[in-house]
Chains A and B, each alone.
Chain A
Amino acid sequence: GENVEQHPSTLSVQEGDSAVIKCTYSDSASNYFPWYKQELGKRPQLIIDIRSNVGEKKDQRIAVTLNKTAKHFSLHITETQPEDSAVYFCAASWLTGGGNKLTFGTGTQLKVEL
């Protein structure tokens, strides 16, 4: 089955700096890679996702890059703000005609310091 590794487990940056979180996956059949943000005590929320036929996707201050050959993908947050502080999870799945069974990484605790 799929295995997703995520690094680092904790990340501390100064406000305004950039943050990068990296994930690797094992199953070359995986074709969908979402990122979720989970604030303390709240539900995970989808912040950006990418399909395997795209190498990069950007949405304002966040971007995701995918390297299919190396089987890794990364989340980039620019101009970080205190409200970006949260746990971020990457995930991978092989989208079939019916469902989306996501395999998640173990999460990165991002702390944006003033």
Chain B
Amino acid sequence: EAGVTQSPTHLIKTRGQQATLRCSPISGHTSVYWYQQALGLGLQFLLWYDEGEERNRGNFPPRFSGRQFPNYSSELNVNALELEDSALYLCASSPQDLNEKLFFGSGTQLSVL
């Protein structure tokens, strides 16, 4: 069974640009979560999507947004990039019937120069 896949693996942008990160959940999983892992910090909850809807968001500014597509894949968009947005962005998915089990992807390393 294929795991959660994320693309790209690495992304380099400059301040003020926009970044788009993509996530494909495990087949059959309907929920997608996004987390930010900055250096030296734990994982910070960003967004949760389920059945195409945004269900919850963490304490991040509105320039962090995303969407979930009918096939349950998801995009995370970060507008007006700032230096402190540099981090590893992790996507996780969970099945509807075992919603406590989160399975993570390998992440996208975003560097803002």
Which size bracket describes the interface of B in this complex?
20 to 34
Distance between Cα atoms of A104 and B104 in the complex (Å) = 14
State which residues 30-89 of A face B: CB under 8 Å.
32, 34, 36, 42-46, 49, 89
Q: Evaluate contact between A98 and B90: CB separation under 8 angstroms.
A: no
Interface string of B8-44 (1 = CB under 8 A from A): 0000000000000000000000010101000011111
Closest-CB distance, A48 to chain B (whole angstroms): 12
Distance between Cα atoms of A45 and B105 in the complex (Å) = 9
Q: Judge if B107 is at the interface, Cβ distance under 8 Å.
A: yes
Distance between Cα atoms of A1 and B103 in the complex (Å) = 23
Interface string of B77-113 (1 = CB under 8 A from A): 0000000000000100010000111111111000000
Residues of B within 8 A of A (CB): 3-4, 31, 33, 35, 40-45, 48, 50, 55-56, 58-59, 90, 94, 99-107
> Which A-B residue pairs are the 4 nearest by beta carbons?
A104-B42, A104-B43, A106-B42, A43-B104
